[in-house]
Amino acid sequence: MPIAITSEHTDLADSVRSFVARVAPSEVLHEALDADWESPIPNPPPFWKAAAEQGLQGVHLSEFVGGQGFGILELAIVLAEFGYGAVPGPFVSSAIASALIAAHDPVANVLAGLASGEAIATYAIDSGLTATRHGDGLVIRGEVQAVPAAAQASVLVLPVAIDSGEEWVVLDADSLEIEPVKSVDPLRPLGHVRANAVELSSDDEAARVLNHLSRPLAHALISTLLSAEAIGVARWATDTAAAYAKIREQFGRPIGQFQAIKHKCAGMIAETERATAAVWDAARAIDDLRENDSAEAHFEFAAAVAATLAPAAAQHCTQDCIQVHGGIGFTWEHDANIYYRRALVLAAAFGRSAEYPQRVVDTATTTGMRPVDIDLDPDTEKLRAEIRAEVDALKAIPREERNIAIAEGGWVQPHLPTPWGRASEPIEQIIIAQEFSAGRVKRPQMGIAAWIIPSIVAFGTDEQKQRFLPPTFRGEVIWCQLFSEPGAGSDLASLTTKATKVDGGWRITGQKIWTTAAQYSAWGALLARTDPSAPKHNGITYFLLDMKSPGVEVKPLRELTGNAMFNTVFIDDVFVPDSMVLGEVNRGWEVSRNTLTNERVSIGSSEPPFLANLDQFVEFLRDGHFDQIEQNRAGQLIAEGHAAKVLNLRSTLLTLAGGDAMPAAAISKLLSMKTGQGYAEFAVASFGTAAAIGDNTQQPGRWAEYLLASRATTIYGGTSEVQLNIIAERLLGLPRDP
C-alpha cells in the first residue's frame, strides 16, 4: 500500500498521482534526459504553475502564507507520488527547503512566494560553509558541493558552521556564486555553491538565521522527505517489474510464473512496504512535535529508521527491476534507466549512508525507540471508560473465578459474535486489549486454539460450539493443529491422511508432523482426505479429534534446540464420529483456510517468548561494546524491527478503515521472522569464543538458544518461500505456479 491509508490521504494521493501522470509522462522524461545537461528542463518547469494552482507547493505550509495548512505527512504523500512519476526539476528540493524555513517560523515572509510558486528554493544537507560574527550579523564563506537545483533556486537554505555548532541560514541566490555541474540524474540538476564573504545582517528579511531550527530536526525533515520520494521510486520499480513479469514469456510461459522471478518481485514489494511504513511513521513523528513536546525524543529515531530503509529500497528495487526486464532494462530508452539514476542521486542526497544506522543505534540506546501506539479518536473515550470499569470489576473477582467471568463475558476473543465474543468492532477490540494490559488483568491463553476457535464459531454445529467453546475460553482445554504431514507441509492440498466412511462416522489413518503441543492437547483440528477421486483442493474434510482416542499415538519430536515443542502424531484406524466433522464433508479446505488466516495474522504480529525480540536486542546493545561495522549492522536490524512493528500498526489501522490486512500480514511474517533471526545471529557472533558456551544461565548460552530456536520461524506457519509466493500472487497478481 502507498503511504496513504485514510480516505482523506488516499484522495490526496490519487489527486497528485493523476496530476503527475499528466505533466510528467514517459516521453517528457526521456525528452529531458536527452536534452543538454546544463538545461534539461525549463526553469520553472512547465508544470510549476499548475502545481501551484493545485496547492502542492504549499500543502504543508500555514494558511497565513497561502499554504494549505497540512503537515509533513501530507507533504510526504505528495513527494512519494512525485517519486513514483520521477518528476523532473526542483519541486522536491523546494518543498524540503520550505519545510525547513517553516520549522523555524511558520509565517516567515519568504514562505508566501514559495507557497504560491512564485519562488523556488533549495537546501543542502552538508555544511561546507563557515560563518564569523561581524557586529550584529554574520560573514559567510566557503563552498557546498552538489546542491540539488542550486541554479534553479532563488532562495537557498544552507547549514553553516559557526562558533562550535551549526546554524541554518536563508540566502538569496544573487549573493552566491553557483556553478552548475553534471548530475548522474540529468532530471535532477546539481550545482556547487560558493559564498565569498557574504554578509548577513540581522534585520535582513530575505536572509536570516534559522535559530529555532535544531540540527536534529533539520536532518529529520530532510531525511524523511527524501525517504518519501525514495519509496515512490521503489514502488514504481516494483509495479513495473511485476507488470512485465506477467506478460514477458520465456520457455512457453510468463516469467512471473518462475519462482526466481516471483520471489524477486515479492522481495521488492516487501522491502518497499517496510520502508513505506517507516516513512509514514517518521512523518507522523515530526507532526507530533506540533501537538506534544514529549514527542521530541522520538522523531530523530523514526527519521533515522526511514533513512536507513528507504534509499536502500529505492536502489535495490530499481536494480531488481532492471534484472527482471533483462536486456531491455539496460537500454537508454527504457524508463528503468531514469528511475535507477533517480535512486542513485537520492541515495547520495542523504550524505553518508552509514550515519543513519548509527543514529538509529544511538537514539534507541539513549532516548529510546519511538513507541508504536494507536491514537484513537477522542469520541471513543466514553467506550473506553465503560470497558475500563468492566475490567476493574473483573480484577476484583477472586482469581479462581475470574477466568470463568472473562470467558462468559466474551472478553477472550471479543471480535467473535455473541455469546462467544462481544461482536466488537476493530476499535473496540483495540481498546479492550489496551485496557486489559493497562489493568494487568490476564485473559486465558488460547495458544493454538486462538486459530481454531474462529473456525468452530463459523462452521460448527450448535452442539459443537456448546461443547468446545466455553471450556476452551476458560483455558481448560488445550488444542493442537493436525495439518502438516511428512509429504505435505505448506502444501496442505497434497495431504494423504485418509478417512473412510463407516457407520456413524469415519475411520482415519495417517501421519501428522510438526504438531505443536500435541503431547499436552486434549483435542486436535485434523484434516483428512475423504474423497481421493476429487481434485486435490477438494475432497478434504475437517475433523475434531479426541487426542485420547484409541489408535492415536503422539511421539515428541526433539528439535535442534533439544526441546520438544513439535510432535509426530500417528493415527491408526481411529474412529471419529460424524458429530465431530466441522463444516461440510469434502469442504474442509474452506474451513482450513479460515484457520490458516487466523494463524498467519497472529504469527505476523506477535513476539514468541522463546525468540529474541527488539527490546531485548536494544538492551543487549546498550550493555555491550561494538565496533562501527557491528553498530551499522545493529542499526539496520533495529530499523527493520521497528518498521515491522509499524507495518503491523498500519495493518490494524487499515482494518479499522475496512480494508484487507491479510496481504500485509504475509509481508509482516516474512520480514519480522527474518529480522528476529538477525538479532540472535548478531548477538552470538559478537561473543567470539564465548559463543560456544551452551549454559543458558549465561548470556552467550541464552542468545545461542534464541538462535537455535529462530531457525523454525521461517518454516512454521508457512515457510518464507510459501509467503513469497503468496505475496507475489495475491499482492502483485503474478501467475500461480503450474
Query: How many CB atoms sit inside 10 A of residue 3's CB?
Result: 26
What residues contact residue 641 under an 8 Å CB cut-off, 6+ apart?
A: 613, 614, 617, 672, 675, 676, 679
Written as one string, the DSSP assignment of 541-594 is EEEEEETTSTTEEEEEE--TTS---EEEEEEEEEEEEGGGEESSTTBHHHHHHH
Distance from C-alpha of 20 to C-alpha of 79, rounded to nearest angstrom: 11
Q: How far apart are CA 669 and CA 712, in angstroms?
A: 13
Q: Which residues of 405-416 are buried (b: 16+ CB within 10 A; e: fewer)?
A: ebbebbbbbbbb
- Find residue 498's DSSP bridge partners: 509, 529
Which among 212, 206, 288, 223 is positioned nearest to 92, based on CA atoms?
223
> Cα angle vertex 707, ends 701, 708, to 5°?
90
DSSP H or E run through 166: strand 165-172
Cα–Cα nearest to 182, from 341, 61, 49, 71: 341
The cell numbers describing 260, all together, are 526466481
541: which strand partners?
528
How open is the CA angle 724-730-732, to the nearest 5 degrees? 80
Q: Evaluate whether 443 touches 411 at the Cβ level (below 8 Å).
A: yes
255 DSSP assignment: G
Residue 318 and residue 229: Cα distance in Å, rounded?
13
| 3-class state of residue 707 by DSSP | helix
- C-alpha span between 697 and 682 (Å, rounded): 19
**Neighbouring residues of 709: CB distance < 8 A, sequence distance ≥ 6:** 561, 610, 611
User: Distance between CA atoms of 588 and 28, rounded to whole angstroms?
Assistant: 55
- Is the CB of residue 357 less than 8 Å from the CB of residue 401? no
What are the angstrom distances between the C-alpha of 369 and each of 281, 306, 667? 12, 13, 22
User: What span, in angstroms and rounded, lies between the C-alpha atoms of 8 and 68?
Assistant: 14
Is there a catalytic annotation at residue 599? yes
User: How far is Cα 707 from Cα 686, in angstroms, rounded to an integer?
Assistant: 13
Cβ–Cβ under 8 Å, residues 330 and 319: no
Whether residue 170 contacts residue 212, with contact meaning beta carbons closer than 8 Å, is answered with: no
d(CA 24, CA 421): 52
**Rounded-to-integer distance, Cα 388 and Cα 394, Å:** 10
Q: Compute the distance between CA of residue 590 and CA of residue 588 in angstroms, rounded to an integer.
A: 5
Torsion of CA 457, 462, 466, 467, to 10 degrees: -100
Assign 3-class secondary structure to 13-78: HHHHHHHHHHHCCHHHHHHHHCCCCCCCCCCCCCCHHHHHHCCCCCCCCCHHHCCCCCCHHHHHHH
DSSP string computed for 177-244: EEEEE--SSTTS-EEEEEEEEEEE-TT-SSSEE-TT--HHHHHHHHHHHHHHHHHHHHHHHHHHHHHH
Q: Are 401 and 474 in contact (CB under 8 A)?
A: no
**435, 599, 640, 705: which is the annotated catalytic residue?**
599
Indicate if the alpha-carbon torsion angle 211, 217, 218, 219 is positive or negative.
positive
Provide the residue type at 77 as one letter: I
Question: Given CA atoms 236, 239, 243, 249 in this order, what sign does their dihedral have?
Answer: positive
What residues are labeled active site?
A: 599
